[in-house]
Structure 1
Amino acid sequence: MPSVPSTKESPVKSPVCPHAGKLLSHSNGDAKLREGSFPLNGIEKLTVVQNPEDSSKTIQINTKNASPERKWIRPDLPSRCTWSLGASKASFFLLPEPIGDTPMVRINKIPKVFGLKCELLAKCEYFNAGGSVKDRISLRMVEDAERAGILKPGDTIIEPTSGNTGIGLALAAAVKGYRCIIVMPEKMSMEKVDVLRALGAEIVRTPTSARFDSPESHVGVAWRLKNEIPNSHILDQYRNPSNPLAHYDTTAEEILEQCDGKVDMLVVGAGTGGTITGVARKLKERCPNIKIVGVDPEGSILAEPEELNKTDKTQYEVEGIGYDFIPTVLDRSVVDAWYKSNDEESFNMSRMLIRDEGLLCGGSSGTAMAAAVNVAKELKEGQRCVVILPDSIRNYMSKFLSDKWMVQKGFLREEDLMVKKPWWWNLKLQGLNMSAPLTVLPTVTCQKTIKILKEKGFDQAPVVDDAGLILGMVTLGNMLSSILAGKIKLSDPVSKVLYKQFKQIRLTDNLGKLSRILETDHFALVVHEQIQYLTDGSPSLKQMVFGVVTAVDLLNFVTGRERRERSMSESTDEL
């Protein structure tokens, strides 16, 4: 595989990796980070604050007297890789055990259910040491950086990640003695946080909703930390050529060996794009007629043509795949077709793989397999489709493995789980006696809001804008803990302590769904939808606050109804 030309002369005379020169741009030395610099919009200082409840960390940003430029390297720069089909190949690069040489298994029951004629095989990447396909690139990036003279003993590794690359890097850092800081969005599972913490990594969480080029995103925060911490390096899986090279040199070779060189279709979920790029390049060289299918979740923009990405969704629950930018290492030219997946089919397929095939895989594995059973219908008997299963169930024990979580997210119907339901289960929420909602504007001070909540006997209130649209929730507990921790002042507006991790429920939903929500949450926000017409005449669906309901409200309704029915029954008996 040809090398990637560097933009500056490398001080390393004979790097082991032909791409090692490119890695020098990750150094904390005299490399100029001019690419992607732009005004910081008033941000001066980023502070990492320890969360006493779960030992995770949050970000505080000071917006006064900001530096005029932000130093970072965009993760979506055009690739300078010179690979082309038929070009000369680099030498085979072997990763040490127990990373690599993962098993390939035949899927037996699922193809029959979906009427497939071809052979369906799955490469189980969760057998790697850290539990995912990302172990391959993590070790490769670290060792290439060491050979290039970038990483030295005592240095710090920082990486923005959805978790699995972070686990792989933390594993390597634990063995090799580096400090490791992992920056990842809030939506990623607590199981990943626990594993990272056990490996000695420091964890920083960022808002899931932040765009990749925002200073508050996991990418932006990682670069800010890198610029502030001496001898720190971002190995940068989004740009690092070692990412696709690891798969070109190992994953693809293993697939070819395990399939005796015969593969007709490859189905891979796309995140950074390193897996699909590296594997597809090698397979296209050795199997010219192979069809490469990339899988991209709804809400992501990786798929082509662009029309496939048109959707109102901006977020999704599946972790580790999909992005709101095109990573540098993703070579979309090697992908022959794209499949857009959704959360429901992904998680239900993951559960099916576990139940019917005995494969303890994660959510993105279900995404890839759900795509495969659809696109592989075009294959004939005697042909072969390979699906890569990226990670294991370990990271998602509290998510799609849980029936309650699946029901709460709308991916599973409650009636499919319960044989006998209480009498009130299917009653609509409209039957609850809910008082008029108490709402506050985002400009109201914390001091005033605390006073109002105490006077009215509420623990929480929705925060809405002037048009009545929901911005978030504010709770007494959240405000008081933030004030005591010194994060906010009493005079600050409640917009600084908005709580957005709350559940919403509609008036048309049943009390059973409310009951499930209240098993894990203290309250649910009751909303009703209205159609609002904009100035151009186009309709827009808006959610408005109807009320806040708690477990006490549900309990009062159930006991009150039972008490009335008991009284009526006793009166009838007396007659």
Structure 2
Amino acid sequence: MNYAKNILETIGNTPLVKLNVLTKDLPCLVLSKYETFNPGNSVKDRMALQMIEDAEADGRLKPGGTIIEGTSGNTGMGLALAAIVKGYKCVFVMADKQSKEKIDILRAVGAEVVVCPTNVEPTDPRSYYSVSKRLGEEIPNSWYVNQYDNPSNCKAHYLSTGPEIWEQTEGKVTHFVVGVGTGGTISGVGSYLKSKNPNIKIWGIDTYGSVFKKYHETGIFDENEIYPYITEGIGEDILPKNVNFDVIDGFTKVTDKDAAIFTQRLAKEEGMFLGNSAGAAVKGLLQLKEHFTKDDVVVVLFHDHGSRYVGKMFNNDWMRDRGFVEEDIKTAADLVESHNDKPLLSVQTEELVSHAIERMKSLKISQLPVKDVNGFVGSLDESVLIHHFMSDKNIADKPVKEIMGKPYPVVKKSAKLEEISKLISKENQAVLVDLENGNHQIITKYDIISAI
């Protein structure tokens, strides 16, 4: 009978799948190394198992020990699966920008998860790098994996992923394209492929907010390039030892927006339900078009599964909030379309200011139209509230009508975006839209900026 003795024996030997729609304008054959077929649904299963087995072999990981690692989610899943089979505990440290699905999945397989802030320096004691190291020192019988600098990361791909790609393409691969995070995949695969054919080109996909591209081209580690970004799984604000820049021929950077859009397009146009870094890889691949010819065989590696991003890149509200959804917004009706089925929030002239403040705080809004029995008669803005409060601490117990401003202008739902933007000013923070069915909606500066 043909069966695996445990789940770890199913790692590797993932298929190559041809891309057809998104790459139709490229002259070359594009094949994706589809790593979601690994049991933990990502490429990280390979190096997770390699790192554990190497640590067992040299005594760093002892029976009954605790595995500690900072992870964006996928390495944690690979480590957790191996830990279950081999009898270890796991503590994983994650940055708060990672999707909720990734955190929930790790907890579902029995791992303890510690969440740290994203927007701090790597050396900050709150960063997930620092917290991981500290836990590794504090927890008895523990092993801190450190996938960034652990040579077993690169080794795993030199021994498995690289040889698979070479054999599956019968040695015809000419380019390898992959998103770069810890550097293990690009360096391991790149080293192996170049050992077979030095002419194979290795391209890394980087993101804005990361240091890789400029460092590769200039040797300068530019801290001015470091800032928070949304794309998951690629880019770094450090230089991991696993990134072998000598193996890499070049980098191209992909924006958060393009990465998110192409993640959706892979699912809708290729039937490939993949993670955020796959969208970045495809857009990067298209940006490299001039480097390919009709005789080339390009392999792009897709890291992980789309199920880990259903609350983010596959959620249109999330995409819209970040300006990632391409919408043709021209009129007032277009601006309020996403919430015109909800009642307009307002406050009455005789309500206490404290009621209005509580409403604004609980709903996280900055402006409220003021009404009486005859309709809209005024407005309330957070800046006005602050101004009045500074001069009179008892303002909260007074009726709204005593501090309200002028009523917001009302426009027809056919009003153009340019017309609406002219009505927004320092003195007037919002515009009301008459939806012609007895209902109104509000447009704020934030709505205008989002539309732009």
Query: How many percent of aligned residue pairs carry the same amino acid?
Result: 41
Cα root mean square deviation, aligned: 3.6
Alignment of 1:120 onto 2:120: no
Identify which of 272, 275, 282 aligns with 1:359: 272
CA contact (8 A) 1:453 1:460 kept: no
Aligned length: 365
Q: Distance between the aligned counterparts of 1:380 and 1:362, measured in 2?
A: 28
CA contact (8 A) 1:319 1:364 kept: yes
Q: Distance between the aligned counterparts of 2:152 and 2:273, measured in 1?
A: 28
Identify which of 57, 62, 66 aligns with 1:152: 62
The secondary structure found in structure 2 opposite 1:371 is helix
Q: Distance between the aligned counterparts of 1:211 and 1:97, measured in 2?
A: 39
- For structure 2, the 5+ residue unaligned runs are 1-6, 348-352, 365-381, 383-407, 414-423, 441-452
Superposition deviation, residue 219 in structure 1:
0.8
Off by >6 Å, runs of 4+ in structure 1: 307-313, 432-435, 452-455, 558-561
1:169-248 paired onto structure 2 within 5 Å: 169-248=79-158
CA contact (8 A) 1:269 1:294 kept: yes
Superposition deviation, residue 109 in structure 1:
1.8
CA contact (8 A) 2:8 2:81 kept: no
Q: Cα 1:279–1:459, aligned 2, differ >3 Å: closer, same or farther?
A: same
Give 1:223's aligned amino acid.
K
Q: Distance between the aligned counterparts of 1:423 and 1:153, measured in 2?
A: 60
Give 1:319's aligned amino acid.
E
1:257-336 paired onto structure 2 within 5 Å: 257-303=167-213, 304-306=216-218, 314-336=227-249
Q: Cα 1:308–1:411, aligned 2, differ >3 Å: closer, same or farther?
A: farther
Superposition deviation, residue 414 in structure 1:
3.7
The secondary structure found in structure 2 opposite 1:110 is coil
Q: Distance between the aligned counterparts of 2:222 and 2:263, measured in 1?
A: 23
Superposition deviation, residue 176 in structure 1:
1.5
Greater relative contact order (Cα 8 A, min sep 6): structure 1 or 2? Answer: 2
Per-residue CA shift, 1:126-148, capped at 9, x if unaligned? 11110101110111111111111
TM-score, scaled relative to structure 1 = 0.58
Per-residue CA shift, 1:183-231, capped at 9, x if unaligned? 0100101111111011000000000101111111001011111221111
Q: Distance between the aligned counterparts of 2:99 and 2:345, measured in 1?
A: 36
Query: Which residue of structure 2 aligns with residue 347 of structure 1?
Result: 260
Q: Cα 1:246–1:454, aligned 2, differ >3 Å: closer, same or farther?
A: same
Superposition deviation, residue 378 in structure 1:
2.6
Per-residue CA shift, 1:251-293, capped at 9, x if unaligned? 0000000000111111111000000000000111111111111
Give 2:107's aligned amino acid.
R
The secondary structure found in structure 1 opposite 2:209 is coil
- For structure 1, the 5+ residue unaligned runs are 1-94, 436-451, 463-472, 474-506, 513-528, 531-543, 566-575
Give 1:347's aligned amino acid.
A
Q: Distance between the aligned counterparts of 2:206 and 2:356, measured in 1?
A: 50
Query: Which residue of structure 2 aligns with residue 412 of structure 1?
Result: 325
**Larger fraction in helix:** 2
Q: Cα 1:175–1:453, aligned 2, differ >3 Å: closer, same or farther?
A: farther
Q: Distance between the aligned counterparts of 1:293 and 1:103, measured in 2?
A: 21
Query: Which residue of structure 2 aligns with residue 7 of structure 1?
Result: none
Give 2:60's aligned amino acid.
I
Q: Distance between the aligned counterparts of 2:335 and 2:186, measured in 1?
A: 51
Identify which of 143, 156, 165 aligns with 2:75: 165
Give 2:96's aligned amino acid.
E
Give 2:21's aligned amino acid.
K
Q: Cα 1:365–1:426, aligned 2, differ >3 Å: closer, same or farther?
A: closer
1:459-474 paired onto structure 2 within 5 Å: 460=361
CA contact (8 A) 1:262 1:287 kept: no
Per-residue CA shift, 1:427-468, capped at 9, x if unaligned? 9xxxx9999xxxxxxxxxxxxxxxx97895466399xxxxxx
The secondary structure found in structure 2 opposite 1:151 is coil
